[in-house]
Amino acid sequence: MKKIWNGITKENAIFVLLLGLCPALAVTTTFEKSYVMGLCVLVVLLGSNFIISLIKKIVPDLVKIPVFILIIGTFVTAIEIVLKNELPGLYDVLSIYLPLITVNCIIFGRALEVASKESVKNSILDAIGTGLGFTMALMIIGLVRELFGNNSITILSNDGLAKIFGQNLVIENVLPAFTPINIMVKPAGAFLALALLLAFINFMKSRRKKNVSN
């Protein structure tokens, strides 16, 4: 339990380690895309950590990196095929960022640091923690960007998950009488949103430290 909690808070992939930023910035223009991307990463991470921790003893050091990348790539390809057949709308929207999960630093980092060293159980727990932390970070960024950039929250959109759940769920005009700041859903807004969130976290941390020392 402690391991999972650590992955979400103290060792959060995005907000603390700053790894795996490409999808965090690229697909977070709506809330729905953010959590779908987060869940994809969670599934890949779980699968790759499990397999790698199983075979860690029989892989020679020399070919470690190519072998790990191929294992991760296999899971990514599987997800790609599933999404392409089940949710073609989302598949098109996520475009190159889906295959790019293969080279996501957070998955690779976890494979090298945890899965190739620790037991199967620990690797799975670590994958769940890190994956959940990643998903939550993406959800927060996506929420901030969509709320301020478009004044809406998309939970189930028509070309996305609405196909599975049977109805769409988009909350519009969340903040009454608020003019959306267009730049937040543009590429520049992604950098800005992450910068402000990081600064906010730093600010809260230093305040808490001050309180403790007083």
Give the residues lining the site for other proteins (CB under 8 A).
Answer: 18-22, 25-26, 65-66, 69-70, 73-74, 76-77, 80-81, 95-96, 99-100, 102-105, 108, 183, 186-192, 194-196, 198-200, 202-203, 206
- How far apart CA 39 and CA 22 sit, in angstroms, is 15
Query: What CA–CA distance (Å, rounded) separates 56 from 114?
Result: 11
CB of 111 to other proteins, least distance (A): 10
Q: How far is the CB of 12 from other proteins (least distance, A)?
A: 13
In the complex with other proteins, the residue whose CB is nearer, 22 or 174, is 22
Is residue 26 within 8 Å of 97, Cβ to Cβ? yes
Q: From CA 135, how far away is CA 97, in angstroms rounded?
A: 15
- Least CB distance to other proteins at residue 141 (A): 12
Q: Looking at beta carbons only, is 72 or 147 nearer to other proteins?
A: 72
Contact present, 155 and 31 (Cβ < 8 Å):
yes
Q: Which of 159, 165, 160, 138 has the alpha carbon at shortest distance from 39? A: 138
Nearer to other proteins among residue 173 and residue 211 (C-beta): 211
Of the two residues 24 and 42, which places its CB atom closer to other proteins in the complex?
A: 24
The distance of closest approach from Cβ of residue 198 to other proteins in the complex, given in angstroms and rounded to an integer, is 5
Distance CA(4)–CA(163), nearest Å, equals 32
